[in-house]
Structure formats: C-alpha cells, structure tokens
Chain A
Amino acid sequence: MASNLALLYEAPILSVQLVIDGILIGAIFALAAYGMALVWGVMNIINIAQGEFVMLGGYVTFFLAATGVHPLLTVPVAVAVLFIFGWAIYRLVVFRVVDKDLFISILATFGISIVLQQLANELFGADVRTAESGLGTLFFADGLVTVAAIKLVAFVAALVLGASLFLFLKKSRLGQAIRATAQNARAARIVGINTDRVYATTFALNAAICGAAGSLVVMTWLIHPYLGLAYTIRSFMIVIVAGLGNLVGVILAGVGLGAAENFAGFLLGTEYQAAFVFSLLVVILLWRNFRLSRLRKYLK
C-alpha cells in the first residue's frame, strides 16, 4: 500500500488517470442513484433490488450485442425492457407494500433482489460478461493517460439520460403528477391524480434508468449475477450524501464515489475494492450519525 502511495507521488499523472476513470464510471453510479432517490422520494420505498435492475439491463445489452447489434444501439432496448419489467414487478409485488411500513418494503425488495440474482445465476450462468463496443481508445499526455472512447460515450449518455429525466419530472404532465404525489399522496388523489398509476410509472421509470445504467456498465466494465448488491449500496450511499431530489448533488456524489473507489482500488489492491465500497457505507452512516447527534439536544 505504501509503495503504491509512493508510486502515485512519483508519477502524478497516474492520479489523473484514476480520477478520469472514476469520474466516467461515477456518472453511471449517479444514474442508478437518481432512480433510487426517485422511488424513495415518491413512494417512500428503499428499493434493495436496485442493483439487480442494473444487472438485468446489462444482460439485455449483452445478449443483444452477442447477436451482432452494436451495444450502443441496445441501450434504448434495455430501457424499454426494464420499463416493462419494472411495471410488472410493481403490479406483482410492490403495489402491496407502498403504504406499508418501510421495514416491510425493505424485506420485500430484499426478497425480489434474491430472486433476480439467483434467477440470473441459473439462467445466464455465473460467468463475468462484457460487451465489446469496438470504439477504440483515446490517448492524452503522450499516451500516459488513456481513456476508452466508450467510457466517454457512456459518461455523456448517463448525463443526457439524467438531465432528460429531470426535465421530464419538471415539465411534463406526468412528471408534475409524480412530484405532486411525492409531496402529498392524499392531496394528489383528491385533485384527481391516479396515484396507483403514478407509483407504477415511477417504479417502472426507475427500473428503466437502472436498465440504461446496466447497459452502459456492461459496455464500459463487466457484469455478473452477483454484482447487484454493490450497485444498491452505491446508490444508497450517493442518495444519503446528496439528498433526495437533488440532481446536481447526485452527480457530484456519484463522480466522487467513482474517483474514491478507483483510488482505493489502486492503493489497497483490487481485491479490496469491493470491501472498500461496503466499508465506506458504514463510514458514511457513522459520520452522518455523528453529525446528526450534534443537532439532537433533547436526549443524550
């Protein structure tokens, strides 16, 4: 670890490489996190199956790309498939837990995540998959900093998707209905909003965003049936750092997390990168608790 730190000091250009890689992957994390914040804010459900949606989106792209379609063209397909899938999951399971206690919805989505993870393992196999985009690599600073072109494309795509979702929520009729329901579901019902449909759309939208994120992940990185939990945890971390409904905050937190993860992977070794992600969650929660406890005056 110390030697790696020394290496970073000797060759600062390596840090640039790590930061750039982190920023590019971080935008994808932010995309999934924005979906989680949407469902959390509107339906008051923390969706543990978030990462599994990402994984499924990745598999859609992987299997379509295997038939010869360019993976970038499959992103809209992944979005559509996951939208329908999310709608189905809502109609099957989630609508039953919308008004219930947060614990019930956590347990229920935890069950969904296990089903999806194990189904993917049975149907698609436990192999690590990736979809080759064939876009080549860009070189900067005399070839010391390399950026795969697909990562840049994915970064831009993630930002565009996030921004269009934001605009959809702000401008469209349905988006306004979603925001109204988030503010006060009962009042929304009174003024004639079909909140059940709003919830279904919200959940399906979330799944669709995760599908897009997964589709980008399989092109820039890799997927396997068990990677869901890491994305759920990352989304959760980003949301609690950035807050609900704060798009810029979500993007900044996502990008920061991506960079931090890359540095940790470099310094501690890649075998500890996953451990770092999960430990960071504990650290963030402890820090949050510490910060909140200073605001609590009534009981020590």
Chain B
Amino acid sequence: MTDPVRNVLLYTLIALAGLIAPYVAPTIVIQLALLWMMVLFALTWDLAGGQMGYNSFGNILFFGIGCYVATVVQRELYFDIEEYANVTIADITLSLTPSQYFAGLALGMALSVLIAVAVAAVLGSGILGLRGHYFAICTLGVGVAAGEIASGWEYVGAGSGMVAPIYPGEPDQRGIFFYYLLFILAVICFFTLKRLYSTRFGLAINAIRDDEDKAEAMGIHTTRYKTVAWCVSAFFLALAGGTFGHLNNFIDREVAFPGTTFGVWMVLMAILGGKGTIWGPVIGATVFHVTQELFWTYFFGWQRVALGVLIVVIVLFFPQGIMGWLRERWPEKFGETVDAEGRAAQVSLEEPR
C-alpha cells in the first residue's frame, strides 16, 4: 500500500460506494448504517486491543453512556418528566420540530462525548496503570456493572427503558440521515486513527504493546499514553452510541449495554480482520457484518454459541487475522522486500516451540 495513486483510487472508490449506497439499496439502509457502526466499533477496539495490546472487554460502556446521555438530554430539554413517564411505546407522542430535534441531538452527543471521555480518563488513569491482564478483567466487570446500574436507576428509566424522540420527517429520510451520520463518524474515526498511528503517539502505543517495561525505561509515560488511547476510543464510541440510541428510538439496558452482542462482536471483528492494522478492523467488520446479515438466520438461535466458537478458533488458529494473512502471503504488496532466504527464516521462526 505504498503507491499514493492507488491509495487515492481506493479511498475514492470506498467514499463513492459509501455515498451512493443508500440510494442504490434503499431497502437495507439501516443494515448499511450498522455496517459503518461495526467498522467504527472494530477500529476503536483495535486502538487499545490491537495497537496497544490492551484487550478491553468493556468498551461497550462508552457506547452505553452515549446512548443514555443523548436520550436523557433530549428528554430533559423538551419534556416534562411527569408527562414523559406516562408515555408508552404504543402511543408515541414524542414528536419534536426538526430544529429542536437536531439541536437536542447535537447537544446530547457533545455531552455524551464529554462524559464518556471523562469516565475513560478517570477510570483509565487508575486501572491502566496496571498491566494488561488486570485491565482486561476489570473492563469485563465495568461493562456489566454499568448495565446493572442503568437497569436499576429510576432516573434513566430503570428496567423499562426510555423512548427517544422520533425523527421529525419522512421515515425513509430517517434511515438516510442516520446512515450518513454513521458513515461520516466511521470515516472520521478511520482517518483520525490513521493519522494518530503515523505520529509519535502511534509509535508509543506500539512500543507499549511490544514491551511495556522497555517502553517505560525509554522514558515513555506509558500510563498517560494508554489513558489517552482509551479516551479516543471512548470519544468515538460515545458518538456512535448517541446516534444508535436515536436510530433505535428506544433504549434500555439490553440496547445500550449489549455486552453479549456488540461487546463481543467488536473484539471478534478486530481480531478476524487483523489486530494492530488500520485496514484489518475495517475488513473484519465488513466480512463479519455481511456474513451475519446473510447467514445469521440459518443458525436458529445458535448464533451466539457460534460466536464464541469463532473467537476461540480465530485466536488459536488464525491469530494474525485476514490482514496478517495477506501480509504473510504477499509481503511485497506491503512494501516489504523478502528474498527466498528471508522467507525461509521467517517460516522457521513460526515453528512451534
């Protein structure tokens, strides 16, 4: 991927495809919107999980914060709490004028980003000071704890959830609006991360992944870098959460903290595509989402079992992911020159100990 002309061509193609997709296939616009959300999920997970080597099982926390904060802001801005509490999903009266709706959405997303990043900073600066496996298990608990709190907290609807205001406008416009919102978010996320990885920051987090003690000995403030990386993840996940809450029109614990679906998928997609690469998560998310949409119904309820099996199989037998496999297969395309001798040496290195 060194040829700049080819790069520009590739980006233009993807951008074009992304821009015209909702008009080419208007019936599946929501699925396409979710595809971009999956790309964002995988990219943000890979930031800590792949590039930095810090597996997080609780990134769904920030997604849920985004969902809840954005919806609560809409509610607090425009509704009387008493009136709101009496609304059931059956008779929705939560219609807003477009300007109210979009202003509320923008404000809600801004606030959700603030809160999510603050949570990531506070929580991260504490638990990221420890080594990765403590962090991994801690995040496992954090995601569930947040869901438990949300399902017990009356202010955010407790177990019965909250209804987000309906989109002011035609139903088909609604799909297209959220499609472009998620598309833009995913694109911004991609280029932000791509830019970040090419800076000193990217080198630092890669150094942390490769050997944290050495990185620290070299004078890198590892905890600070780790916290910033997690905050960047939180930033984009909160935006995605705010959008998804409004797209779904209804949030409760299951929608906002879907640990067994989205939470697991983001891990799976990133390692399927290839941890620690910029394109890996994009490819992994696309492959996974398309496969899931096409074949998921044939599993008859065994999807989640298959999901776990898939994680185990990928971790054991395909840890390099699709990008890693491509890179091993055609190293020349990745700008690496490998002669026959080097190839032989590389193969012998991969022999099991």
Q: Which residues of A contact B (CB under 8 A)?
A: 46, 48, 93, 96-97, 99, 102-104, 106-108, 110-119, 121-122, 229, 232-233, 236, 240, 269, 271-272, 274-275, 277-279, 281-282, 285-286, 288-290, 292-293, 299
Interface centre among B55, B144, B315, by most chain A C-beta atoms within 10 angstroms, is B315
Across the interface, which residues of A come within 8 angstroms of B260, CB to CB? 114, 118
Q: Please, how many angstroms separate the alpha-carbon atoms of A285 and B315 in the complex?
A: 27
The interface stretch among B33-41, B74-82, B164-172, B299-307 is: B299-307
A114 in contact with B311 (CB, 8 Å): yes
Across the interface, which residues of B come within 8 angstroms of A114, CB to CB? 260, 264, 304, 307-308, 311
B133 in contact with A289 (CB, 8 Å): no
B107 at the interface (CB under 8 A from A): no
Across the interface, which residues of A come within 8 angstroms of B309, CB to CB? 111, 115
B307 in contact with A99 (CB, 8 Å): no
Q: Which 9 A-B pairs have the closest CB atoms?
A: A114-B308, A111-B311, A278-B145, A115-B308, A275-B148, A111-B312, A278-B141, A118-B304, A271-B152
Across the interface, which residues of B come within 8 angstroms of A115, CB to CB? 305, 308-309, 312
Which residue of the partner chain A has the closest CB to B142? A282
Q: List 23 A-B contacts (CB under 8 A).
A: A46-B133, A46-B137, A97-B315, A103-B133, A103-B136, A108-B316, A111-B315, A113-B308, A115-B308, A115-B309, A229-B140, A232-B137, A232-B140, A233-B141, A275-B145, A278-B145, A279-B141, A282-B145, A285-B126, A286-B127, A288-B134, A290-B126, A292-B129
Secondary structure dominating the interface of B: helix
| Interface residue count on the B side (C-beta < 8 Å) | 44
Across the interface, which residues of B come within 8 angstroms of A293, CB to CB? 129
Which of B132, B152, B264 is within 8 Å of A272, CB to CB?
B152
Q: Please, how many angstroms separate the alpha-carbon atoms of A247 and B100 in the complex?
A: 61
Which residue of the partner chain A has the closest CB to B128? A289
Which of B55, B138, B149, B304 is within 8 Å of A103, CB to CB?
B55
B57 at the interface (CB under 8 A from A): yes
B267 at the interface (CB under 8 A from A): yes
Secondary structure dominating the interface of A: helix
Q: Please, how many angstroms separate the alpha-carbon atoms of A288 and B131 in the complex?
A: 12
Across the interface, which residues of B come within 8 angstroms of A240, CB to CB? 134
Q: Please, how many angstroms separate the alpha-carbon atoms of A97 and B312 in the complex?
A: 11
B145 in contact with A279 (CB, 8 Å): yes
For residue B256, give the distance in angstroms from its CB to the closest CB of chain A. Answer: 15
Across the interface, which residues of A come within 8 angstroms of B312, CB to CB? 93, 108, 111-112, 115
B286 at the interface (CB under 8 A from A): no
B130 at the interface (CB under 8 A from A): yes
B301 in contact with A103 (CB, 8 Å): no
A289 in contact with B315 (CB, 8 Å): no
B238 at the interface (CB under 8 A from A): no
Across the interface, which residues of B come within 8 angstroms of A110, CB to CB? 57, 140, 267, 311
A48 in contact with B137 (CB, 8 Å): yes
For residue A294, give the distance in angstroms from its CB to the closest CB of chain B. Answer: 12
A282 in contact with B138 (CB, 8 Å): yes
Decide: A106 near B145, CB < 8 A? Known: A111-B312, A114-B264, A118-B307.
no
B245 at the interface (CB under 8 A from A): no
Across the interface, which residues of B come within 8 angstroms of A106, CB to CB? 55, 133, 136-137
Q: Please, how many angstroms separate the alpha-carbon atoms of A240 and B131 in the complex?
A: 13
B133 in contact with A102 (CB, 8 Å): yes
B6 at the interface (CB under 8 A from A): no
Decide: A275 near B149, CB < 8 A? Known: A108-B312, A111-B308, A112-B312.
yes
